[in-house]
Structure 1
Amino acid sequence: MSGYEALRQSAAWMDASSRGRIRVTGEDRKRLLHAMTTNHIEQMQPGESVYAFFLNSQGRILADAWIYCAEDHLLLDTEPETRRKVFEHLDRYIIADDVTLEDITEQTAEIAVEGPQAEQAPRSGVVIRASITGQPGFRMIVPAEEKEALIERLRAAGIAEAGPEEARTVRIENGVPRYGEDITESQIVHETRQLHAVHFNKGCYLGQEIVERVRARGQVHRMLYPIRIETQTPPAAGEKVFSGVEECGFITSAAWSPAQGCVRALAYLRKLENLSAGGAPAQLVQN
């Protein structure tokens, strides 16, 4: 069974060690992260994890992260490309706070297990409820020297490895955006439709004014949607999407779906009817 099939039908493991991992300690750690992200950090209990955005003062999305709450620290799990940006962004706002940031990426490894049967997989280290592909699963963070032993345990349990392209295909099939591909600093929160990253009653945080203004006015000119395109060739990022003869948006990521026999994609759209991309018919998908 391929890694792609395992992700869809059973379970597969993925090496996510390239992701950034930042340890946050100090008495003020929750207060700082609460003021710097879109989700509710102060109410988190040990063992819980949440997905959140970091915004700038204009409400643009600087990065996303999974935030895990341990007894004595918070752990930020970021995209590889935003690791340094998040560290420097937070460090800039630590003035008189009792908060210490430590980049532990190089000292640790991260293995994700996802799929319908992921719960049966062996576990080790810090276990975070988070998904790369949108399938059920979790991530394990262990000391770097324990990585190979963990992978051997997963292999011995009959769990296949899924490579980056296989994981990306399943992610796009499930309509899950990735920061750096589908979400960038050009977007505001409501355009992404990832409102599970936002707690609307948490109080003040950087960028909140813009988020609340958009929510109150309900004016979002384009939003991110999953679509299917009746072709065998995935369009490149930036490819225009049309509604009839009118340009209505653009592709952010696309992949051939072996299971669905079409190209699946994510796209920012202003209109949702009579769609086409690259000359091929397209339609909205309800994930």
Structure 2
Amino acid sequence: MTWDDLMQGKACVDLGPRALWKLSGPDRVRFLNGQTTQDIASLRPGQAAHAAVTSAKGRMEGDIWVTHRGDSLWIDAPFELRETLGPRLDRYLIADDAALEDITGSHHLWHVPGTLLPDSVAAARFLMPGCDLWLAPDQTVPLPVAAPELAEALRILQGVPLWGRDIGPQHLPPEAAFERDAISYRKGCYIGQEVIARIKSIGHVNKRLVRLTTAAPGPLPPLPAPILHLDKAAGEMTSACLHPQHGTGHALAVLPRALAETPSEVEIHGTPWKTDPLAVYLPHRPA
């Protein structure tokens, strides 16, 4: 199984295990719309959308995907958020006619980049067309499974941050470049919206996710790796890979705005790297 196979929809990526909840009830859409940065009301059956759950101060409490299952919404998140995100959502289920059920372990998530298979869910998890396959433990994966290093290369090359490594509760969604696909600026109110809207009106954040590239990486440094700019500490490289075909180095980091918005040269373990802002600044999902 090759890189080309993965990019042409002939292989799938193992994205499990994931924390998974089922939200049901007549008020499920209204409730979740008031808890996330995404316009959940715009979802249609068979579609999934990226979103963030934020605090009143706009900091991220969860990096989630929401799937429209017809009579319910499925919410999935990194497994390490299972103990905190469920109670966080349940705490606000007061007057809404909705029920949140933890169904972690009932299904495993596989993703196929580049195509849409029958009975799958349309989801751009790697900021490109693709589909999710939620399979029960006794179901067989219909495609070859990509090696973990290929899946990791796809994630980094597409500029998709990983919760707990590249981003976390210390970040605001715009710092993680979530406006590409996870923030709607036209929906109704949600917890943290005032902060996110203020950032949009200002026009920038002080630091931001950026991709880094180098033509001659040599051995990749242990992570996290300190980043220097003009001999001063600028941040840390948190994810890194070699391109499966070209051997070039690619990485992710959250850097100060001056480096994240303008192509700049930085140094990592004595090797020159360049920031690649356009690789992560894509249009956000239409609201």
TM-score (norm 2): 0.86
Question: Does structure 1 retain, via aligned residues, the 8 Å contact 2:167–2:176?
Answer: yes
User: Partner amino acid for 1:190?
Assistant: P
1:202 paired with 2:187, answer yes
Q: Distance in 2 between matches of 1:45 and 1:10?
A: 23
Task: Structure 2: give runs of 5+ residues left out of the alignment.
Answer: 280-287
Post-superposition Cα deviations, 1:224-283, rounded to whole Å, max 9, x if no partner, equal 111113312223333222222232222121112232322210011223322221111111
- What does residue range 5-154 of structure 1 map to in structure 2 within 5 Å? 5-114=4-113, 116=114, 118-119=115-116, 123-124=118-119, 127-145=120-138, 147-148=139-140, 151=141, 154=142
8 Å CA contact 1:113, 1:139 repeated in 2: yes
Give yes or no for the alignment of 1:267 onto 2:253.
yes
Secondary structure, aligned partner of 2:91:
helix
Looking at structure 1, the residues matched to 88 and 239 of structure 2 have their Cα atoms a distance apart, in angstroms, of 27
- Tell me which residue corresponds to 2:172: 188
Cα distance, 1:44 vs structure 2: 2.8
Contact 2:107 2:134 in 1 (8 A): yes
In the alignment, structure 1 residue 251 sits paired with structure 2 residue 255: no
CA distance in 2, matches of 1:204, 1:265: 35
Structure 1: gaps spanning 5 or more residues: none
Displacement of 1:9 after TM fit?
4.8
Letter matched to residue 210 of structure 1:
V
Q: Quick check: 1:227–1:267 contact (8 Å CA) kept in 2?
A: yes
Separation in structure 2 between the aligned mates of residue 106 and residue 10 of structure 1, nearest angstrom: 26
Q: Which moved more, 1:65-74 or 1:228-237?
A: 228-237
Q: What are the residue-to-residue correspondences of 1:162-241 with 2, within 5 Å?
A: 162-195=146-179, 196-229=181-214, 230-241=216-227
Stretch deviating more after TM superposition (53-62 or 231-240): 231-240
Contact 1:169 1:256 in 2 (8 A): yes
Residues 188 and 143 of structure 1: is their aligned pair in 2 closer, same or farther, counting only changes over 3 Å?
A: same
Once the 2 structures are TM-superposed, how far is the Cα of residue 135 of structure 1 from its aligned partner? 4.7
CA 1:217–1:106: 2 relative to 1, 3 Å = same
- Percent identity of the aligned residues? 30
Contact 2:13 2:112 in 1 (8 A): yes
Q: Given the superposition, is the C-alpha separation of residues 135 and 41 from structure 1 closer, same or farther in structure 2, using an over 3 Å criterion?
A: closer
Report the equivalent of 1:281.
272
Say whether the 8 Å CA contact 1:236–1:253 is kept in structure 2: no
The 2-side partners of 1:51 and 1:9 are apart by 23
| Residues 83-131 of structure 1, C-alpha deviations (whole Å, 9 max, x = no match) | 33221111111112211111222222322222x4x34x5x44xx22224
Kept after mapping to 1: 8 A contact 2:155/2:161: yes
CA distance in 1, matches of 2:14, 2:66: 19
Q: Compared with structure 1, are the counterparts of its residues 244 and 259 closer, same or farther at alpha carbon in structure 2 (3 Å cutoff)?
A: farther
* Cα distance between partner residues in 1 of 2:94 and 2:166: 33
**Pairs aligned (count):** 271
Aligned residue for 2:42, secondary structure, equals: coil
Cα distance in 2 between the residues matched to 1:47 and 1:8: 22
Contact 1:226 1:267 in 2 (8 A): yes
**Are 2:21 and 2:104, in contact at CA under 8 Å, matched by a contact in 1?**
yes
SS in 2 for 1:93: coil
**Cα distance change, pair 160–228 in 1 and its aligned pair in 2 (3 A):** same
Letter of the 1:244 partner, please give it.
Answer: L
CA distance in 2, matches of 1:134, 1:7: 15
